[in-house]
Amino acid sequence: MMNVTYTTWPVILIPYNLLPWLCLKQPFWMMSMLILGPKSPGNNIDVYLEPLIDELKQLWTVGVEAWDAKAKTNFTLRAILLWTINDFPAYGMLSGWSTKGKFACPYCNKDTDYLWLKFGCKHCYLGHRRWLTANHKRRRNKTSFNNRAENRAAPVPLSGAQVQFGKMSNKRKQREEETRWHNWRKKSIFFELPYWENLLVRHNLDVMHIEKNICDSILGTLLDIEGKTKDNVKARLDMQHLGIRKDQHPLVQNGKYSLPPSKYSLGKEEKTYLCKLLEGVKMPDGYASNIKRCVNVKECKVSGLKTHDCHVIFQKLLPIAVRDILPDDIVIPLIELSRFFNAICSKELSVDDLDSMNNSIAVTLCRLEMVFPPAFFDIMMHLPVHLVEEAKLAGPVCYRWMYPIERYLRTLKGYVRNKSHPEGSIAEGYISEECMTFCSQFLDDVDESQWIGLIA
């Protein structure tokens, strides 16, 4: 609102012992603390979390005396912190495992299959053949991948006891020696909780942001949007440097590079068709925002998409749009990827479906590796391979993603009245809202005309 970078971090507790359709409702949440801005706390977030961790340890070991209104007796209330819900950069701040660099994947850890791109000057994450079955034919396919057969098994995530081994040393020599094979930047304060190392899912991968980043990459590459496409001169030079897909290597003409058309390259008519489809679609009220405002048909560009816009486009509209303008070897993996996210986002998941999804996502990513350049495979394109195993352990992602939290952040922003001290406005607005919620839910027998006097 002030055109100034300002970061405020609310820490929200969500009670999961409520009914499923109530636990994610804002009136039942508890904002335990508000970390002040104007900058992100970074790895020092543990300093702010110490009071919360102390209370969580007390709730687990000692408990607090509470009143059971139904049984009319006192009992000892205990609580456990199941996991954290956050976006991927915050994942690194809370867990201590840096989500940048060659070991960016917290599940693959030191076995992350990374590749440094010389011209793109960034890491890409390939090697999804490791998740295929042992006798799958693509494991022996050399020409379509990195000119090598794949015989390795999928990486095994670290257990809680192994995570503790990764703590950093204060001695410079020992720290430099440790950082050669892992990505730990600190030992998370959550490990002070006596049960934390025994949890199988400690920090959730956020499906909302993963889906949005993948959707942006696909649309940017198909429409060749400057700054968003993953297929540019640097990407083609990296392919030439790696010696793969010689038919797509850049050509030099009059001192300038020209890029041969690839299988996913769209002409002017195809780009216009895709943009017109996105612009002309009409959704039911409340189903999606006005996607038309983000589409520029004349310039064949799509910009300003929100997370839910990408959710709708990727799962519902993109499969319809690409099936008539792209060849089958591009359309099939894109539709399969869309169906995967549609299935993983459902409210009910069965074990049999999860097993089949776990096999299908590995095949889909391998098919995408065969057609898209290595620069396309940033860390967000790699993370879907871990979503199924996480869903097996923690349940449907609709109870563990950022959509309801992002909506609540919008509510907190609406409390701001004094822009020089936004935290004070948020705290006052939250307390007032909490008082009104208490009155409306627990004082049913009180006349509404008396609420003002009670609150005062």
Residues 359 and 312 in one domain: yes
Residues 199 and 315 in one domain: no
Residues 191 and 220 in one domain: no
Tally Cβ neighbours within 10 Å of residue 188.
25
Residues 437 and 311 in one domain: no
- Report the pLDDT value the prediction gives residue 173, as an integer from 0 to 100: 46
Structure-token pair, residue 7: 């970061």
268 in the Ramachandran plot: left (φ > 0), alpha (ψ -120 to 50) or beta? Answer: alpha
In a domain, 41, yes or no: yes
Residues 48 and 174 in one domain: yes
**Domain assignment of residue 317, given as a range:** 207-228+263-385
- Report the pLDDT value the prediction gives residue 147, as an integer from 0 to 100: 81
Residues 280 and 424 in one domain: no
Residues 308 and 333 in one domain: yes
Q: Which of 285, 312, 398 is nearest to 348 (CA)?
A: 398
Residues 406 and 326 in one domain: no
Number of structural domains the chain divides into? 2
In a domain, 395, yes or no: no
In a domain, 394, yes or no: no
- Report the pLDDT value the prediction gives residue 195, as an integer from 0 to 100: 94
- Report the pLDDT value the prediction gives residue 148, as an integer from 0 to 100: 85
Q: Which of 201, 200, 197, 119 is nearest to 164 (CA)?
A: 197
| Tokens 């068709």 belong to residue | 273
Quote the CA–CA distance of 334 and 330 in Å, as a whole number. 6
In a domain, 267, yes or no: yes
Tally Cβ neighbours within 10 Å of residue 98.
19
Contact 66, 77 (CB under 8 A): yes
Q: Going by DSSP bridges, is the β-strand pair 30-35/84-85 parallel, antiparallel, or unpaired? A: unpaired
pTM given for the model: 0.90
What is the mean pLDDT of each successive set of 10 residues along the chain, which is 456 residues long? Answer: 77 92 90 90 93 95 91 93 94 92 91 93 93 90 84 86 55 49 86 93 95 96 93 93 90 87 92 93 86 93 93 94 92 96 93 92 94 94 95 93 93 89 91 87 63 48
- Report the pLDDT value the prediction gives residue 451, as an integer from 0 to 100: 52
Residues 222 and 125 in one domain: no
Tell me the sheet residues that pair with 68. Answer: 73
How far is the CA of 279 from the CAs of 291, 302, 323, 347, in angstroms?
A: 7, 10, 18, 29
Residues 24 and 75 in one domain: yes
- Report the pLDDT value the prediction gives residue 288, as an integer from 0 to 100: 85
Residues 200 and 211 in one domain: no
Residues 190 and 289 in one domain: no
